[in-house]
Amino acid sequence: MRQAFDYLPPAGHPAGAEDVGRRVRVPFGNRELVGVVVAVAEPDPAAGELRAALQILDEAPLLAGELRHSLQWLAGYTHAPLGEVLATALPGSLRHGQPLPVRETWRWRLTEAGMTALDRLRAGSSPRRLAEALGREGLAEWQLDDLQPGWRSAARSLARRGFAERQAEQVAATVLPMQSGPPLNPEQTAAVAAIPGHGFAPILLEGVTGSGKTEVYLQAIAACLARGRQALVLVPEIGLTPQTLARFRARLGVEVHALHSGLADNERALTWAACLRGQARVIVGTRSAVFVPLPEAGLIVIDEEHDGSYKQLDGIRYHARDFALVRGKALQVPVILGSATPSLETLHNARTGRYAHLRLAERAGEAKAPSVRVVDVRKRALAAGLAPETLAVIATQLQAGGQVLVFKNRRGYAPVLLCHDCGWSAHCNRCDAPMTVHAAGRRLQCHHCGHRRPAPPACPDCGGLALQPQGVGTERLEELLADSFAQVPVLRIDRSTTQRKDALERHFATLGEGPGILVGTQILAKGHDLPLLTLVVVVGVDEGLFSADFRAGEKLAQLLIQVAGRAGRAARPGQVWLQTHHPGHPLLETLLSGGYRAFADAELIQRQAAGFPPFAHLAMIRAEARQLEHVQAFLRATRVALANVAQDLELHGPMPAPMPRRAGFQRMQLLLSAIQRPRLHAALQTALPAIEALPEARRVRWSLDVDPIDLY
Ligand code: ADP
Ligand code: ZN
Ligand code: ZN
């Protein structure tokens, strides 16, 4: 709900400004709920009788200062209820009212004054015994619990006199040995020098794959730690590997706290609490880590800032990169956006001078940029999508002891099951989409709603037996490659084979140091450093060349550069073979002749001409229901409500969603576009209450997405 609710403070608790940000347990209807205090005010006599909150749950506010203000900003920007935003920001167990968990890493020790005064404390007294136990080295609280039950009052008495102090344990600083990195090259040195120690500074670090961006982050983080500040590093979902964490730990010499969706609720809450208390000095996490409290913030890094996983696609549709920039500004700390293929939004901001722009144009160390070769596969006989010369080069690389990555952005055996006699093809009966063939043709699966069924033995329409898988997915490639290169390991890596947490690591371990083949989807585009990888084969990207989505070209260019960047990251030179039916496509030509930079230049000109981001600002209202009429009626009424309040807003639709039916729901959308961002927000702000009150709104599921990244 959009509104806040008024309560009296719990009996005997005088409410004050210091309650803002604390959680409370309150009666709500005939239930009890957990809430967060967002304001304290004098009761309004006109409001009538108020119920009293039952209990204040926190000693100190959980959502205080900068984080609370930034979340408030986010609620305004996404036009979402503040309650939902706060609930999104809090780990589950805190949202449900569990106490803020304690990590037992506080340490008490004697001060210099305490050391001198030790003898003057009454022999045998509780403070004296505690002081003797503590000494200058000190003890952790959990150790004191065992050693001297009831030690806390003695500790307070020592602290009052300045004889003892309590400190957050800098666990890692004292425990872990530190490794030094390679000496930086001049470009890296210049980049590190350009990152200021404090104050808000948005910085694009544009560095080709393998140019040593991570080394630059590590140096900036080390400097941040040396200043006694916290560093937050956001990484894409597929980038948060044990390899990455180990590298950070070894190099920084402190505990590195990982935060990602794979953690249990209590683990997330522990890390969140450690951030709030300032115990966590380095936090590396995926999208939702952008919500951790950073009372001593010093630096924010967003690795692979162009990555799509930073955008949340349901609930509060926030963009972690954009929210990180908002927080960096509020916290007055530098924000580094790193990428080999920056998003066009970020590039535009760098070019117009809003962000500083640092470049790493060369690969670090010995590695050289890979060479790229385009294979025209028109009219060619293909085996599971591979041309004969592609198979030949794979064989050559394997013989030379190299590893090969075969990339195809489609999992399953084949995208379509077709009857060669009558033209029937297997469709999901809940979605308007073909079902993907899995398990070498035995099983069908809908990649949109998850529905599975066995493949029919004969055509359901004509009874014929000529059912044929059409096209190529990773399973089919794996089958062919395992047959053709039986002497080396062939490993398939896609969402079907990496369900388990450690699956990727185990795959890479199997591959080892010898020749072998990896077949996979974009999961392979980033994450693991494979020094023996000398050849990358890209099997067809043609679907992406003709998509209606205005961002399709950008996504494809990024994917190609990222996948190609996996080749030749160490001393061995790398090659990229790109198979296509459209060797003359402008996107490929520009990318191959001028690189990502040339592509981005051309694309920005087109975006400007067409009035798309970053030159315009978009919002999408999506709606779905079982009956199409309900969806249409709601979006038409919504369009009227918006048109009534804003003249300079462009409204497109209602139009069918790119997938007009999914899991049995009819889906349509309304796209809003404005040249001035404030206009867009003003219109939404004014019109949303009317839209929510529409009778048509009760018959559909609908959502608002500000800055949509996918137009579906
Ligand atoms: P990026 O993050 O830009 O992809 P990394 O920081 O992971 O690049 O560096 C790629 C590889 O190059 C790593 O193996 C890293 O250890 C190495 N490397 C980075 N900087 C240097 C340097 N100055 N000298 C030698 N090797 C380096
Ligand atoms: Zn048939
Ligand atoms: Zn389906």
Domain boundary among 124, 143, 169: 169
Domain extent at residue 77 = 17-95
- In a shared domain, residues 255 and 333: yes
- In a shared domain, residues 510 and 583: yes
Average pLDDT, the chain: 88
Query: Is 224 marked as a binding-site residue?
Result: no
Q: Locate 62 and state its tokens.
A: 């959980």
- In a shared domain, residues 205 and 332: yes
Q: Among residues of the chain, what percentage have pLDDT more than 70?
A: 95
- In a shared domain, residues 550 and 587: yes
pLDDT value of residue 544:
72
Q: Is residue 643 part of a domain?
A: yes
* Residue from 291, 296, 342, 341 nearest 320 by CA: 291
Q: Is residue 195 part of a domain?
A: yes
- In a shared domain, residues 512 and 591: yes
pLDDT tens, residue by residue, 406-430: 988 888 899 899 999 999 999 998 8
Domain boundary among 73, 95, 117: 95
Task: Compute, in angstroms, the gap from residue 458 CA to the centroid of ligand 2.
Answer: 8
pLDDT tens, residue by residue, 195-233: 998 899 999 999 988 889 999 999 999 999 999 999 999
Predicted confidence band of residue 332 (pLDDT cuts 50, 70, 90): very high
Q: Is residue 436 part of a domain?
A: no
Which pTM does this prediction carry? 0.85
Number of structural domains (the chain) is 5
pLDDT value of residue 175:
42
Distance CA 622, CA 638 (A): 11
pLDDT tens, residue by residue, 553-585: 898 888 888 888 877 766 777 888 888 888 888
Task: Compute, in angstroms, the gap from residue 185 CA to the centroid of ligand 1.
Answer: 10
- In a shared domain, residues 197 and 285: yes
For the Cβ of 530 lying below 6 angstroms from any atom of ligand 1, the answer is no
**Ligand that lies nearest to the alpha carbon of residue 452, given by its number in the listed order:** 3
* Residue from 399, 400, 438, 434 nearest 418 by CA: 434
Q: Ligand 1 atom closest to Cα of 217?
A: 6
- In a shared domain, residues 298 and 338: yes
What contacts 429, CB < 8 A, 6 or more positions away?
none
Domain boundary among 95, 113, 143: 95
pLDDT tens, residue by residue, 79-136: 999 999 999 999 999 999 999 988 756 788 999 999 998 889 998 899 999 999 898 8
Q: Is residue 437 part of a domain?
A: no
Instruction: Give 84 or 148, the one with higher predicted confidence.
Output: 84
Q: Is residue 180 part of a domain?
A: no
Predicted confidence band of residue 172 (pLDDT cuts 50, 70, 90): very low
CATH of the domain at 486: 3.40.50.300
- In a shared domain, residues 311 and 230: yes
- In a shared domain, residues 198 and 82: no
What contacts 68, CB < 8 A, 6 or more positions away?
20, 21, 61
Q: For residue 518, is pLDDT > 60? A: yes
pLDDT tens, residue by residue, 337-395: 999 999 999 999 999 999 999 999 888 777 677 788 888 888 888 888 888 999 999 99
pLDDT value of residue 36:
95
DSSP class of 220: H
Query: Is 431 marked as a binding-site residue?
Result: yes
pLDDT value of residue 174:
41
pLDDT value of residue 710:
79
Query: Is 422 marked as a binding-site residue?
Result: yes
- 654, with CB counted inside 10 A (0-12, 13-18, 19+), is buried
- In a shared domain, residues 114 and 258: no
* Residue from 460, 457, 475 nearest 415 by CA: 475
Q: Is residue 612 part of a domain?
A: no
**Ligand that lies nearest to the alpha carbon of residue 188, given by its number in the listed order:** 1
CB 248 within 8 A of CB 218: yes
Instruction: Give 441 or 466, the one with higher predicted confidence.
Output: 466
CATH of the domain at 643: 3.30.70.600
Q: Is residue 100 part of a domain?
A: no
Strands 31-36 and 23-28: antiparallel
- In a shared domain, residues 91 and 135: no
Q: Is residue 134 part of a domain?
A: yes
- In a shared domain, residues 221 and 305: yes
Instruction: Give 366 or 294, the one with higher predicted confidence.
Output: 294
Lowest-confidence pick of 399-408, 500-509, 642-651: 500-509
pLDDT tens, residue by residue, 475-510: 999 999 999 999 999 988 877 666 655 666 777 777
Looking at the DSSP bridge assignments, the partners of residue 532 are: none
For the Cβ of 214 lying below 6 angstroms from any atom of ligand 1, the answer is yes
